Structure 1
Amino acid sequence: MLDIFSGQSDLGALARDTFEDCTVVAADKYVEMLRFSTLSANVASDSAALPFKPEAFDNIVVCGGLHHLREQDFPVALKEIRDCLKPGGSFVMAEAVDDSFLISLVRKIAYPRLEELGDREHDETVLTRKFLTGHLQKSGFEIISFRYIENVAYAALGQTGLVSFTRWLARGSGLAKLLVRLDRFIEKLPFSSLICFGCLVEARKPRA
């Protein structure tokens, strides 16, 4: 499995520890982030030029990385990802999306107050379901599933490094688990697209 935009590769480490015989490679262009990875295989690499042989991986994952690409760079990055996948291989992404007025409004209010995030209007692409699925299909992927994720638990637990008062929530494992369960319930609601901050997409490279 290849974990791109891996950072310290928490996701890759989870996959390694969860699945038997799962070899995970972490790839991130920021070498300083890879130094914190617990994986044995770490590669400094830009998503626009992945240094791997064609059809090298059964699965490729990305968690919160694609929104850092400029819109014009998506076709190149997705082509690189597709080329690295074996036929029938899966590409799974978890990304922030702005598919409702409410979520867009929350982000517009919150981001200027969080200086550590930088200027979000100029350093990333605003993603939507239409944008992501459209680019995946144009790049030759089959869409297997799309669902909205991240609500209460994401807002309360996902920004502890930026919003200090949320840290006490993360320290209470019982409360954290309750918030995650609440998120799981909200994700199943028919109007989840209106109140969820992210999405989970599974796509597949067609077999020849």
Structure 2
Amino acid sequence: MNNPDVKQQVRTFYDQVGWKTIGEGVYQNARYEDLRPVSREYIHRCHLRVNRFLRNSGDLLLDAGSGPVQYPEYLTYSEKYTHRVCLDISMLALKEARNRIGDHGLYVVADVANLPFKPNTFDGLVSLHTLHHLPLADQKKTYMEFLRVMKPDSSAVVVNGWTDSPLMRTARPFILFMERLGKLISGQHEEDKETVLKSACFGVEPPHKEPTGTFIKKFNPEWLKTEIAPLAKYEIFCWRSVNVRYLRAIVHAALGGKLYLKLLYRLEEWFPKFYGEKGQYPLIVLHK
């Protein structure tokens, strides 16, 4: 699949499926997050980690691949900036973002690998779960584009998922065991995806028979060291060490899930670089 085809697929998915609302403030894309009460505090605190690495204030914050700015924590990233520039390939995403942040936002339909801005424009930049939709060659180009449009002495925060997380690979047998145990207890013989989505969306019925994915090309720390380190200064911290499948399989209120996630969060705080490289979701800080 060539680059234009990939980007068209991503645009079509999010316009037709990913950012389709299935309840007040809940999008079809919620199937990719764990919004159950048992996980809510942990997810909330992980989302807020982004703020630590941005300037405290400024004129313009670029949200590259903003989507609809769907979580309340995402709104905090630009609270002390004059404007948040929401850039996305999906027109529907930007319409939803405008509904959420109004005149605080400026809205641009564009490709993150070809930013339509002058050099040294932005005081801060965030990009969450966007670059993995690009081929690796375009991911490298996008990092360089981020550097180009950032002001000197500013930073960008990029959150993505590693191709193969060592921690999640180690946990895979336990995840499979817990998933099978859960099916036996509930009497299910197949994965009830609609029930999973409904539980993640506070009981809202999900739409049926929709396409559920789009192009994803992830990467690993070695790729960053080879492709980005010679060109830019960056650091890797932990955004979140576990993926949604792990959370839904392992973490349950009846099994002390909230306490377990408090401990996990504390470990991520104590060893952010270890969990950043070995866990599922690194928080990459790009410095200019």
TM-score (norm 2): 0.52
Which secondary structure state, in structure 1, belongs to the residue aligned with residue 237 of structure 2? strand
Separation of aligned partners in 1, 2:285 and 2:91 = 28
Which residue among 58, 66, 86 is the counterpart of 2:151? 86
Identity of aligned residues (%): 23
Which secondary structure state, in structure 1, belongs to the residue aligned with residue 66 of structure 2? coil
Separation of aligned partners in 2, 1:192 and 1:157 = 15
Instruction: Check whether the contact 2:165–2:280 (CA below 8 A) recurs between aligned residues.
Output: no
Change (3 A) 1:74 1:157: same
Name which of structure 1's ranges 26-35 and 97-106 shifts more when overlaid on structure 2: 97-106
Give 1 or 2: higher helix fraction: 2
Within 5 A, what are the aligned runs for 1:34-45? 34-37=94-97, 38-39=100-101, 40-45=105-110
- CA apart distance, 1:179: 6.1
Within 5 A, what are the aligned runs for 1:89-100? 89-100=154-165
Gaps (5+ residues) in structure 1? 170-174
- CA apart distance, 1:132: 2.7
Gaps (5+ residues) in structure 2? 1-60, 180-190, 194-209
C-alpha offsets along residues 67-88 of structure 1, whole Å, 9 cap, x if unaligned? Answer: 1110121232222211111122
Within 5 A, what are the aligned runs for 1:3-42? 3-9=63-69, 10=71, 12-17=74-79, 20-37=80-97, 38-39=100-101, 40-42=105-107
Q: 2:229 maps to what in 1?
A: 137
Within 5 A, what are the aligned runs for 1:86-165? 86-101=151-166, 103-104=168-169, 106=172, 117-118=212-213, 123-138=215-230, 140-143=231-234, 145-151=235-241, 154-155=243-244
Separation of aligned partners in 1, 2:144 and 2:125 = 13
Change (3 A) 1:102 1:179: closer
Separation of aligned partners in 2, 1:29 and 1:75 = 18
Q: 1:172 maps to what in 2?
A: none
CA RMSD of aligned residues (A): 3.5
Instruction: Check whether the contact 1:98–1:128 (CA below 8 A) recurs between aligned residues.
Output: yes
Q: Which amino acid aligns with 2:115?
A: L
Instruction: Check whether the contact 1:146–1:201 (CA below 8 A) recurs between aligned residues.
Output: yes
Which secondary structure state, in structure 2, belongs to the residue aligned with residue 86 of structure 1? strand
Within 5 A, what are the aligned runs for 1:158-177? none
- CA apart distance, 1:99: 4.7
Which secondary structure state, in structure 2, belongs to the residue aligned with residue 184 of structure 1? helix
Q: Which runs of 4+ in 1 moved over 4 A?
A: 113-117, 156-159
- CA apart distance, 1:98: 3.6
Which secondary structure state, in structure 2, belongs to the residue aligned with residue 24 of structure 1? strand
- CA apart distance, 1:195: 6.3
Which residue among 30, 47, 62 is the counterpart of 1:2? 62
- Is 1:185 matched with 2:266? yes
Change (3 A) 1:58 1:21: closer
Within 5 A, what are the aligned runs for 1:54-93? 54-93=119-158
- Is 1:197 matched with 2:280? yes
Separation of aligned partners in 2, 1:200 and 1:194 = 9
Instruction: Check whether the contact 1:60–1:92 (CA below 8 A) recurs between aligned residues.
Output: yes
